[in-house]
Chains A and B, each alone.
Chain A
Amino acid sequence: MDETVYQRMQEYFRRTQSACKAKENALTAEGRTDEAVFEKIRGNVLSLSEAVLRAAMQQEDPAGFFRQRMEQIPAAWAQAREKALAHGDGNRAYLEQIKLEMAEDIRRAFGHIQEGQP
């Protein structure tokens, strides 16, 4: 992973996190507390992924490390979602789904940035 990809990913994280935070604040102010929590969850996934990216930069194959961790970490969320669904816990499954969708967005953004797309 070259420095440009790293910088663009950092920029993506900053932009998306700040959008999540703005949405979270707006939803809280409007009294939509649970939907504000959904944004907080998205923000947490972004922070976690940003930390993974920073750690990746210390590795021999940063891109490979980042991709591998971004598959490995959500696998546990997918498992938790399936477990919740199997026990009829639809709301918990939904929270896991939010994390999985955010992780998918991050993976997609990483792919686009690596391919040099705008």
Chain B
Amino acid sequence: MTDTEAIALFKCLADKSRLQILKSLASEDMYVERLAERLGLSAATVSFHLKKLAEVGAVTSYKTQYYTMYALRAETFSARIIDILREESQEADAQAQRDAAYRQKTIDAFFEYGKLKSIPAQRKKKRIILEEIVKAFEPGRIYPEREVNLIIADVHDDFCTIRRDMISEGLMARDQRGYWRTEEGEQP
């Protein structure tokens, strides 16, 4: 378990209702309405908590004939806390995690359900956004300009600006044949 995963798990567990849900599931697998009745919460609130618990790998679900049943995820809870604490966390890993977290935060702030809300003004953030958009292009394939525009337009209406920015950032290159995604380190 990485530090990030451990933090997410512990944060998620630091809630009385979620702890009560896990205690109930420790005795037997249950469906939402049964948990709601047992804990005196609304079914919608129980679903909300179960979704959070599922995101950190604390519970798992399976379908039966009538219900979706929830169960504790044994692998997560069989990990000993002392083993999690003993796992090495190198500074390089920590830096990489900080970079990844910054990157994710930027992506979350500027994208909503796969659409770019606005083009960042700050260069570092814009680079991250462009790197995200360029993933839609297969490496090694040459694209005509029209196709490039269509792919970018899926994400944002101002495809001309984004296309030009991707060229100037060296994420894509062009010649008379068309556009292609550059390899890492390839100069514009």
Contact = CB atoms under 8 A, between A and B. Distances in A.
B44 interface: yes
Nearest to A98: B44
Interface in A1-41: 30-35, 38
Interface size class of B (residues with CB under 8 A): 10 to 19
Nearest to B18: A34
Given A32-B17, A34-B15, A90-B51, A97 B44 contact: yes
Contacts of A94: 44, 47-48
A98 B19 CA distance: 23
A34 B47 CA distance: 12
B52 interface: yes
Contacts of B45: 35, 38
Contacts of A79: none
A83 B44 CA distance: 18
B45 to A, nearest CB: 6
B125 interface: no
Interface string B1-32: 00000000000001111110000000000000
A115 to B, nearest CB: 29
A87 B112 CA distance: 10
Which applies to chain B's interface (DSSP): helix, strand, loop or mixed?
Answer: helix
Given A32-B15, A35-B17, A35-B45, A87 B51 contact: no
Interface string B49-85: 1011000000000000000000000000000000000
Contacts of A34: 15, 17-18, 48-49, 52
A77 B49 CA distance: 21
B68 to A, nearest CB: 12
B48 A31 contact: no
A31 B15 contact: yes
Given A83-B113, A87-B113, A32 B47 contact: no
Which 7 A/B pairs are nearest by Cβ-Cβ distance? A31-B16, A87-B113, A32-B16, A32-B17, A94-B48, A91-B51, A33-B15
Given A90-B47, A90-B48, 14 more contacts: A31-B14, A31-B15, A31-B16, A31-B19, A32-B17, A33-B14, A34-B18, A34-B52, A35-B45, A83-B113, A90-B51, A91-B52, A94-B44, A94-B48
22 contacts: A31-B15, A31-B16, A31-B19, A32-B17, A33-B14, A33-B15, A34-B18, A34-B49, A34-B52, A35-B17, A38-B45, A83-B113, A86-B113, A87-B113, A90-B48, A90-B51, A91-B48, A91-B51, A91-B52, A94-B44, A94-B48, A97-B44
